[in-house]
Amino acid sequence: MMLSLRALARRAPRSASQLASYTTRSSIRPITQSFVKPTSILSSRYQPSKALFSTTPSRFDDAGQELAAKLEGEINIESENNESSTDSDSNVKTFFDQYDFWSAEDTSGEQDVLLKRSYDDEQITVSFSIADFNSPMAPEDEADEAFMDEDEDIESAQSGGANTKGAINQGRTSGGNVKVAPEDSIAPAVREELRNDEVNLISPSIGNPTKLHPQDEDYSPQQAFPADVTVLVQRSGKEGALRFHLVTDGSGFTIHNVTHLPKASGSAAELLRDTADTVYTGPQFEQLDEEVQILMQNYLEKRGFDTALATFIPDYIDVKEQREYLSWLGRMKNFVE
């Protein structure tokens, strides 16, 4: 991965280039006087001199030059790494070759990327950011502890409440009770046994996650970094727009919530970033009726939100982050040298 390559390269010994030497030139020239008439000892000893005006004064900043030399070394290393094509580079190219209905808007120096496509009478815009490249995932043991804590909270909240089939795992009723799906009635010991039979590397709502047994040769607990994805769906002749908040880690998408924006005025980029507190964002997705969840998943899948796109987004973030990092090094070097 790019991150490991960069970390390895930074740990490799390398010599810094020699600092450039500068020759300073005196800007003082003697003043020729036709006569000297000192009035005191001070006036005869110290005569004022005139400095030549220069638009490019001599400047030597040893700290700045040392930093510039170091940045130059980093640029050389990153440039060498970029000469060899990575899996992310080839995956990005393959995606656009196979799914040419998607187009990317990528501005150099900015961290946000937009994907756009048309679907019937709809204009679909997808937004994600390379800022997620450095977002750490919680360690597996911490995630398991959080999951167990959540189960305990659900069980304690269920006392005296009603069981319904209207939600997956948990939800809410008009009386405020937590709704529990049939699978939650399984005994914890049996549930743990079923969980150990097959490990799902990701639990997405959309896409085809890879399921591997821990004893399989290709099994690995490592996951891609999670990337937040915002989707905007606009229809001609329809008021407002739909905005989906998703997360992908390279295998599928998980829906967090769906918001209907009643007034879709402004550009797609502005609507994607609109976080007005007065807009009702809708309930958490897992609190919706099970059938509503499934139909919303199908709605997005029909519009191209499948495993291929879920894999493409982290790859594109990886490629763009490396490109922006190299550009950032160059701009920093040019400024300080």
Domain boundaries, the chain: 87-136+224-327, 140-212
DSSP 185-236: GS-HHHHHHHHHHSEES---SBS---EE-TTSTT-----PPPEEEEEEEEET
Q: Listing from the earlier edge strand, what are the strands of the sheet with 227-235?
A: 103-106, 112-119, 122-129, 227-235, 241-248, 253-261
What local confidence, expressed as pLDDT, does residue 147 receive? Answer: 46
Q: How far apart are CA 171 and CA 161, in angstroms?
A: 12
DSSP string, 22-79: ------B-----S-----SHHHHH----PBPP-SS-----HHHHHHHHHHHHHHHHHH
- Per-position DSSP letters for 78-116, written without gaps between them: HHHHHHSPPHHHHHHHHHHHH-TT-EEEE-TT-SEEEEE
> Do residues 217 and 110 make contact, with C-beta atoms less than 8 angstroms apart?
no
Classify domain 87-136+224-327 at the CATH superfamily level: Mitochondrial glycoprotein (3.10.280.10)
Which pLDDT score is estimated for 216?
46
User: Each residue's pLDDT tens digit in the chain (337 positions)?
Assistant: 444 456 454 344 433 333 333 333 333 333 444 444 444 444 444 455 555 555 655 567 889 999 999 999 999 998 887 766 578 888 999 999 999 999 999 999 999 999 999 999 999 999 999 988 876 555 545 545 554 555 555 444 444 444 443 444 444 444 443 344 444 445 555 444 444 443 333 334 565 543 333 344 543 444 567 999 999 999 988 888 999 999 998 899 999 999 998 876 667 877 777 666 678 888 999 999 999 999 999 999 999 999 999 999 999 999 999 999 999 999 999 999 8
- Sequence-distant (≥ 6) Cβ neighbours of residue 204 within 8 angstroms: 248, 251, 252, 253, 254, 310
Q: Print burial letters for 197-235: b (CB count within 10 Å at least 16), e (below 16).
A: eeeebbebbbbebeebeeeeeeeeeeebbbbbbbbbbbe
Burial of 309 (0-12, 13-18, 19+ CB in 10 A): buried
Q: What is the dihedral of CA 259, 263, 264, 266, to 10 degrees?
A: -130
